[in-house]
Amino acid sequence: MIAFVLCKLIAGLEQKAISNIKNVRGVKDVYMTFGAWDAIIIAEAETMDKLSNLILREVRSTHGVQTTETLVTTNY
């Protein structure tokens, strides 16, 4: 399962936060953006539980991350 995680970062800590997030197992890519969100993270996990752990324990706990919104993909 793949998710797009929209991420708001704390000013001045963006580069360090992105660097740390890129090293998280399950994070496939990170894109810096302009606008309401500072970054889009592409994350992948086998199950919803593993995806939740990746986001809650790894991404959200990263120093410099202010808030996130997760968009989980689906097969239609």
Q: Give the per-residue pLDDT at 75.
A: 78
Is the pLDDT at 76 greater than 80? The verdict is: no
Q: Give the per-residue pLDDT at 74.
A: 86
CATH number of the domain within which 54 lies: 3.30.70.920
40: burial class by Cβ within 10 Å (0-12, 13-18, 19+)? Answer: middle
pTM of the model: 0.92
Evaluate the CA torsion angle 36, 24, 60, 4 in order and state its sign. Answer: positive
Is the pLDDT at 73 greater than 80? The verdict is: yes
Q: State the distance between the two ends of the chain, measured CA to CA, in whole angstroms.
A: 13
- The predicted-structure confidence for 17-72, as pLDDT tens digits, reads as follows 999 999 999 999 999 999 999 999 999 999 999 999 999 999 999 999 999 999 99
The tally of domains found in the chain comes to 1
Which structural domain range is residue 63 located in?
Answer: 2-72
Token pair listed for 30: 């990170």
Give every strand in the sheet of 27-32, ordered side by side.
27-32, 39-44, 2-9, 65-72
